[in-house]
Amino acid sequence: MARPNRAWLETCCTPPLPGCVIKAKAHFRSVALALSAALLIWAPAAFALDETARLLYAEGLQLLQQGHYQQASQRFERAIRIQPRAELSFALGVAYFRLHQPVQAYQAYLQALSLLPDPGLSARIRSGLGDVFFDTEDYAQAIAAYRSALDHQPTWTGVRLKLATSYLRLGRYSEALRESENLLAEQTPLSEARYLRSLIYVARQQWPAAIEELEQLAREPAHRFEAWRQLNWIYRMQQRYDRATELAQEVLAEFGPSIPQAYQLAAATLLEKLTLCLPEPQCQSPQEKRQLHEYLERWVLMTPDQPQSHFELGWLAQLEGDWPAARDAYERAHRLFPSRPDYLLKLAEMEWALGRQPDARIRLEQLAPLMPDSPLWRELPRWSAHHPSLFARWTGADGFPTQIQPFWLSYLNGLKRNASALSDAAKLSAPDQTLQALRLWQAGQPAWARALLLQARRQESQWWLPSELLGRLQLETGASDALLWLEAAYRLNPISRDLALLLAEHLPPGAQRREHLKRALQTFADDPRLQELYLQDLSTR
């Protein structure tokens, strides 16, 4: 096999392992993530090793080249036991990353950094950490890792591309646009330049141009998967779920048997659609619900060590009201990646909802050091215990809020965005829209308030507050869909005592109210009003 040109490699790849050259595969898993190819050609290592460790390292690299990642990881582990070296731990991290084991890859990369590598290797390790965070959708951490790598090696085009994509996925469009324009100004001859142009169009929200660019890119087999994946993302962001679903089916037909991310994409499409249309009882067909379960289960089976697949399975169970299943799935995600605060938070929430408050408090104590500057972990107990109600905190006699306060942003269920990301958005954020809706409501303009709340709900479909406020507003105006909105909010935020009571007070007597009261009493067993309503309901059977 001819030796690839190193200048070409450096334009599209994360730099190779010491003693190796990386050739990019035909298609890449994430946005031009050529590291994910990792076809390795062995050459003598440029660093000193014990003879046995050197041979194990050489064998491991050859196994990586052949795609035998499990055996390669075993060789690297044996070499590390003989002679710990940053290069060996980095190679082990690459092997784990190819095995879709992000936690083990993360730990191997951290071990490599602890062994004080030279600046060049340190940059490669930090880029690898960025890939782990990117693969698990923690784009803020990915940005920090990629920027740290580029501090040592600012010309690495592949890392710069992944940095731009991380900005884009996090909604930081101005930074994504700046990085993309800098790359495009270099006039790289790679076909990825077309993809970069599509990123620019996406950053500028020039959707027709972006779609046209990506559709042209999809005609090239080498880039079809990523082009389709980005098209699907655009259609989902535009909430064109019919087109996004069609595209996901095309991805599954061509790539499903070989690429776990194909099932991830198909599942994400249907799960987002379900979350957004949650108030509507028939918003998804029975066939789509069966498909959603199938896609998530296939994703889990193909990548059992990928925590995000378990997390999404937990979110689906929560939306369906199966709290025990949601709790178990969130716990699996947390065990696989203990340092992810959103996994631990959802686990604490489900523990609380199931009436296991002591266990939930233990989880919150574990969460505190992961989120020392966030009020989120302190808010959880108050959500279900403190009065006056949360609603009264915004509409009470203490004065109407004139600006976004921390608790507006303190409970975006399942989201990994923060105040800075929201403030960077070009359009009005969901918290801003919710605040304006409350002002209009107070001013006697419920129709305008409802329109703004619906827009906030579309922007942040996983945030419970717009749904709850829509339910309260519709109750006040006598609209028929009030209970649907309150039920949607309760599924998104099952630890709100106020919401549980509000639903119990307004649901008509019957099986649905009894089921709700059983569930609410599981969380709030000592609430006298819930107990009273439950006994009343039993007496009328």
* pLDDT per residue as tens digits for the range 380-415: 555 454 333 444 444 443 433 333 333 333 333 333
pLDDT at 430 (0 to 100)? 72
291 assigned to some structural domain: no
Give the CATH number, domain containing residue 2. 1.25.40.10
Residue 521 has pLDDT above 70, yes or no: yes
Work out the mean pLDDT of the chain and round it to a whole number.
78
- Identify the domain containing residue 12 by its residue range: 1-153
**What are the φ/ψ torsions at residue 41 (nearest 5 degrees)?**
-115, 120
300 assigned to some structural domain: no
pTM of the model: 0.61
36 assigned to some structural domain: yes
Who's near 369: CB < 8 A, 6+ residues apart? none
Residue 307 has pLDDT above 90, yes or no: yes
55 assigned to some structural domain: yes
29 assigned to some structural domain: yes
471 burial (CB, 10 Å; 0-12 / 13-18 / 19+) is buried
Count the domains in the chain: 1
Cβ 449 vs Cβ 441: under 8 Å:
yes
Residue 1 has pLDDT above 70, yes or no: no
* Chain segment 65-124, per-residue pLDDT in tens: 888 999 999 999 999 999 999 999 999 999 999 998 999 999 999 999 998 888 889 999
Please give the span between the terminal C-alpha atoms of the chain, in angstroms, as a whole number.
79
Cβ 236 vs Cβ 272: under 8 Å:
yes
Cβ 133 vs Cβ 168: under 8 Å:
no
CA distance 485 to 472: 8
DSSP conformational letter for 303: -
307 assigned to some structural domain: no
In the block, tokens 């990301």 appear at: 421
136 assigned to some structural domain: yes
Q: Where are the alpha helices (DSSP H) in 186-322?
A: 192-203, 207-217, 224-237, 241-255, 260-276, 286-302, 307-319
32 assigned to some structural domain: yes
Per the document, the length of the chain is 541
CB neighbourhood size of 182 (10 A):
11
